[in-house]
Structure 1
Amino acid sequence: MEKHQEIIEVLNELIEINISRLEGYQKATTDVFDEDLKVLFEGMVNESTLFENQIADFVISLGGEPAKDCTFVGKIHQIWIDFKAAVSANNRHAILSSCEFGDEQAILAYDAILEIDEVQKTPELQRFLSGQRQAIDESLKIIRSLLHATHNADAELETLRNQEN
């Protein structure tokens, strides 16, 4: 196990990131009113659950103990605190902005881990982590599209209100 300790530790960080992401999106699905966001967030819950399980299986195959909860302190934790606050306010733009930031940070974490020599020497690990990173990137593109549409709709409403005055 000592040989793989570094890789187990970084994989556990990814598990924690996915647990944090999962918890944030679970909160969102119960608190957000917009049906399109509920459906999107439910998909992200499923995605994060799958990723967490895949990484945990790999940690076990290396002889390690997978992380069981979100103990990752730092940016991801703060992201989801901000996210939960945005959801509580049910502000579509704020919710989507928090999602965007959270998934950007998750992608950065995946990118850093994919650069580690031990990961690069393990094609199976590199392949499935790259696939997970790509899926989060696809989710991020959807979030950005919705965020852009929300921003344009808000700007249009503001223009109409100004014309009325």
Structure 2
Amino acid sequence: MKTNDEIISDLNSLVNILNDGKKGYDSAAETTDSLELKAVFEKDSIERAAYAAELKAHIKTHGGNEDGNESGGLLGAVHRGWIDIKQAFTGNDNKSILEAIETGEKAAIEKYDGFIADYTDHADHLALLQKQRNGIQQDLNQIESLKAQFS
């Protein structure tokens, strides 16, 4: 069984992932010329910030500090950098933007799934994790649909 500090660390890692997602969506919204995609990206960015705030509040109930990096984690910075580099070569290709977001969202879902599977250690916030994971999955489904549209 995990210690309280380990549980707080797990939740902070999700806060980092959510911050990465927010920054990725912000970057994508600035990059695309499509008003439709810009609206989707801005909505999803706001949603990621709300999810992070929910987790930070829950971390406090565990007596921890929400030390999630507001700028996202190292992997997120690398991923956002990849989006920026790819855009320089593709001329703001919407399909490429959507593919990059798809990769990030799949990684987030994988991380959530790992913590949800560890339900004994995460029982008191399992419903929150499931709700957020399902929201990310819905957004991923929309991104995949949009990717097909922009192909």
Q: Normalized against structure 1, the TM-score is what? A: 0.82
Structure 1 residue 77: Cα displacement: 3.7
Aligned to 1:58: 58
For 1:3 and 1:147, the matched residues in 2 are separated by: 42
Q: Which has the larger radius of gyration?
A: 1
Aligned length: 146
Higher relative contact order (CA closer than 8 Å, sequence separation 6+): 2
Q: Which amino acid aligns with 1:97?
A: E
Aligned to 2:74: 73
Structure 1 residue 26: Cα displacement: 1.1
Q: Which amino acid aligns with 1:83?
A: I
1:77-96 pair list within 5 angstroms:
77-88=77-88, 89-96=91-98
* CA RMSD in angstroms, aligned pairs only: 1.7
| Identity among equivalent pairs (%) | 23
Aligned to 1:118: 121
Aligned to 2:25: 25
Asked whether the 8 Å contact 1:12–1:67 carries over to 2, the reply is yes
Secondary structure at 2:121's aligned position in 1?
helix
Structure 1 residue 79: Cα displacement: 2.4
Q: Which amino acid aligns with 2:99?
A: S
Q: Which amino acid aligns with 2:7?
A: I
Moved more, 93-102 or 27-36: 27-36
Structure 1 residue 71: Cα displacement: 5.5
For 1:138 and 1:71, the matched residues in 2 are separated by: 22
Secondary structure at 1:118's aligned position in 2?
coil
Q: Normalized against structure 2, the TM-score is what? A: 0.89
Structure 1 residue 30: Cα displacement: 2.0
Secondary structure at 1:33's aligned position in 2?
coil
Asked whether the 8 Å contact 2:18–2:49 carries over to 1, the reply is yes
